[in-house]
Amino acid sequence: MAELAGFPAELLEAFSTRTGEVQAEFAERVAAGHEPDGATHAAAQRASRAPKKVIADDEVRAIQVRRLAEAGWTQQQVRDLGAQRPGVPLPPTPAEVAALYDRLIGPRGLAEHRPTFGLREVHQAVAEWAGDRLDTETIAVLAERILADPRLVLLTAAGRRWRSRPELTYSTVDLLRAETELLGLCRRGSSQIHVPVGLVEQAIDVVSGDLRRAGGGRAVRLTDEQARVVRAVLTDERLVRPVVGPAGSGKTEAMRAVVRVFTAAGYPVVGTTHGGRQAEELRDRLGIPTRVVSGWLTLLDNTDPTRAWRPGTVLIVDEATQVSTRDAQRLFAHASATRTVVVAVGDPAQLGAVGAGGWFAHLVNTDANVPALADNQRPRGPQLAEIRAVLGELRSADPEHAWRALDRRERPAARV
């Protein structure tokens, strides 16, 4: 329990007799040979607890006054400690302000969860930190000084807002450096992994056969689009190989063929995702060892990375858009150092990272040769062709048009 604010420790200790009793009993039991653990402490609590007894109010008051006197206090002095005083918070010191600037500009500050921010976010952060210690004018001054810090970078002043003031957008040097290093890792370096063409075609046939058996013998197989993505991933010579794979597009089957080829060629394959449940699902679907991104980073940062990823390892990153820029930069740096091939699968139209992200969307939007899955494989059959078309429109710049199209087709079940 928290101590009473404003009451000196010696006064509190004078009335905290129970703690002393337990500690004395605990010391005696340890001296008698008991282990100094939680069980001994619990036994000391039970053994030192005196039976409850009823005492008259006058007697209780007399005991308290005597104990106060023994501690060198009077009743009036205790009343004075609890008296109401006008709160006059102390203003922050220069050292506290400097620490605030370091925190807000660092990885856990303004750019922790978003890659850019403006004056409004800086004001909010300073006001939250200041509480009632600063007035609005001083908060504004501190916020303006933060924006002048050389560790921040002005990105754009294109927008307009209140009273025609420019909407300035900032980021941090730290995050921009991580982004630059990450994109550099994605665009440079070649791998030494090569797989025979025969294995690629064989894996496509095997996975197609698995799909037919799972479908009760129906003519189900990897689509031409899925097969093209499999071939593109396996013949790519880069260390980082991005793949666009929306939900329902059949990326699991395509990645199953990729895993089969790499494994058959003698290359170990591991997986990672941002979330724990996603990692379990990836392990179950592809049959490969998986860890969450933070788990891999903890292992790689604190051991010899080549023991976890020997040269020739393949790392499949599922739902890559949910991996923050800083985590992706650290993860891909380890991959580059160990010559590990990274297959990053994601969908820029789906959920982004909790931390500052956006790297995957930028990567695939600036590279015209990224293999992509587009056809939705879940609603099959000609009777659902219109629905598939509408689902494709939902990924466009005008999703409202897709919802209106569903309304016109009068398919409430599909709409849900």
Domain boundary assignment for the chain: 9-80, 94-173, 188-378
Residue 291 has pLDDT above 70, yes or no: yes
* Distance of alpha carbon 195 from alpha carbon 241, whole angstroms: 15
User: pLDDT tens across 273-286, in order?
Assistant: 999 999 999 999 99
Q: Note the pTM of the prediction, 2 decimals.
A: 0.69
**Domain range 188-378, CATH class:** alpha beta
94-173 and 188-378: identical CATH topology: no
**Do 315 and 271 touch, CB atoms closer than 8 A?**
yes
Which class is domain 94-173?
Answer: mainly alpha
For residue 219, the model assigns a pLDDT of 47
pLDDT at 331: 96
What is the CA 246 to chain-centroid distance, rounded? 21
Q: Residue 200: which pLDDT band, with cuts at 50, 70 and 90?
A: confident
User: If you search the block for the tokens 């006001």, which residue do you land on?
Assistant: 127
In angstroms, the CA 407 to CA 398 distance is: 15
Distance, CA of 148 to CA of 278 (rounded, Å): 41
pLDDT digits (tens, 9 = 90+) for 89-148: 788 999 999 999 999 999 999 999 999 999 899 999 999 999 888 999 999 999 999 999
Joined tokens for residue 40: 């001994």
Asked if pLDDT for residue 408 goes beyond 80, the answer is no
Picking from 304, 379, 309, 317, the residue whose alpha carbon sits closest to that of residue 346 is 317
